[in-house]
Amino acid sequence: MTRIAVLPCDGAGKEVVPEAIKVLRAAGADFEFQEYDVNADQYMRTGEPIPPSTWTELQLADSILFGAVGDPRVNDSAYLAGVLLRLRFELDLYVNLRPARLYDDRLSPLRREDRRAIDLLIVRENTEGLYVGMGGRFKAGTEDEVAIQEDLNTHLGVTRIIDYAFGAARREVVMVDKSNAMTHAGALWQERWKAVAKRHPEVKTRHLYVDAAAMQLVRDPTQFEVIVTGNLFGDILSDLTAELIGGMGIAPSGNVNPETKRGLFEPVHGTAPDIAGKGIVNPIGAILSASMMVRHLGHTEMAGAIEGAVRSAIRDGECTRDLGGALSTSEVGDAVVRRLRD
């Protein structure tokens, strides 16, 4: 039996994850879902972002379905680091997959119709870079303060993420960095990029600096198939690509380790405190993350069926207000479920 650990966490996460599970069940996923009490209330009660007994079980799960983490009452970076970053780092989920596919023309902010066949994948390095938390503050809070945030890049880490990107591409991989300004890390990325590219002569390659990549993504996103980049740039560019396909409510993501097959799947959006709790958050990002999860677990047809049902619901206007519809969060889940049953 496939065991899925469910971590809805906080805010919008609590509303969208149940819809994703509803859709998985309707799609025929015969999984055991085990939900865990990992959230801001629990953290404020115990001081543990993830209780040790829960951590043990999370390590054993086949996959993790995740909502979003964060709470205005917890103004403490230790909470985010202790939940999401810990899972990514300690389970070594080094590939962050952030696909962007436009499901309906009307969701594109781009005026030109020939720029709307958007179907790209950002492969973001997920365990290194500027997110490792190395550095510190010296003379904090004084006018003499010095703050250092280290950008960590390793031969192994850079090689394996670039390798993964080539495996995911049929046509072309674009590597994005800022090696003209960040020369040390950039040199390592450039060297590994060229070395790995040699092993994949069948795939075309292109390099862009991150500023040029941002510009090209808005100018014509249809030119991209696979983009590989570091942790920070991947985070930023994938918010941009989310907007190109309809906004934060619709963008899915997966954090995976291709060797251990472990994975954590979550919508790109956060807890959306401005709209959480009103029944209006869009569950599509979470539902599409669940479809990425079943694809990762080998259920390709099921993933395709979920994506088809989502596409049909969006095209019929059966969606939340951020996509121009009038349905509630759970009504969107129901609309997808109905299409899976038809």
Question: Where in the sequence numbering do the catalytic residues fall?
Answer: 131, 178, 211, 235, 239
Q: How far apart are CA 172 and CA 53, in angstroms?
A: 44
Which stretches of the chain are assigned E, i.e. beta strand?
Answer: 2-9, 31-35, 63-68, 95-101, 119-125, 135-138, 146-149, 172-177, 204-209, 226-229, 252-256, 263-267
Shorter beta-carbon distance to ligand ATP: residue 74 or 227: 74
State which amino acid sits at residue 288: L
Three-point CA angle 315, 337, 239, nearest 5°: 55
Q: What is the DSSP letter of 98?
A: E
- Taking CB under 6 A as the criterion, the residue among 269, 295, 299, 339 binding ligand ATP is 269
Shorter beta-carbon distance to ligand ATP: residue 176 or 242: 242
Residue 12 interacts with ligand ATP (CB under 6 A): yes or no = yes
Residue 91 interacts with ligand ATP (CB under 6 A): yes or no = no
- Taking CB under 6 A as the criterion, the residue among 7, 87, 210, 281 binding ligand ATP is 281
Residue among 332, 334, 339 at smallest CA distance from 283: 332
Residue 49 interacts with ligand ATP (CB under 6 A): yes or no = no
Shorter beta-carbon distance to ligand ATP: residue 68 or 313: 68
Shorter beta-carbon distance to ligand ATP: residue 274 or 342: 274
Find the binding residues for ligand ATP in span 25-44 (CB under 6 A): none
Using CB under 6 A, count the residues that bind ligand ATP: 17
- Counts of helices then strands in the chain (DSSP H, E): 12, 12
Residue 249 interacts with ligand ATP (CB under 6 A): yes or no = yes
Site string for ligand ATP, 304-333 (x = CB under 6 A): ------------------x-----------
Stretch binding ligand ATP (CB under 6 A), from 105-113, 145-153, 168-176, 273-281:
273-281
Least distance between ligand ATP and beta carbon 138 (Å)? 28
Looking at the DSSP bridge assignments, the partners of residue 66 are 7
Residue 238 interacts with ligand ATP (CB under 6 A): yes or no = no
Least distance between ligand ATP and beta carbon 326 (Å)? 14
Shorter beta-carbon distance to ligand ATP: residue 162 or 337: 337
Residue 92: partners with Cβ closer than 8 Å, 6 or more residues away: 127, 257, 260, 262
For ligand ATP, which residue has the nearest CB? 270
Q: How far apart are CA 44 and CA 32, in angstroms?
A: 29
What is the bridge-based pairing of β-strands 2-9 and 31-35? Answer: parallel
Torsion 213-197-165-119 (CA) sign: positive
Least distance between ligand ATP and beta carbon 295 (Å)? 21
Q: How far apart are CA 44 and CA 73, in angstroms?
A: 9
Residue 124 interacts with ligand ATP (CB under 6 A): yes or no = no
Shorter beta-carbon distance to ligand ATP: residue 70 or 333: 70
Q: How far apart are CA 174 and CA 190, in angstroms?
A: 12
Least distance between ligand ATP and beta carbon 70 (Å)? 4
Q: Which residues bind ligand ATP (CB under 6 A)?
A: 12, 16, 68, 70, 248-249, 269-275, 281-282, 285, 322
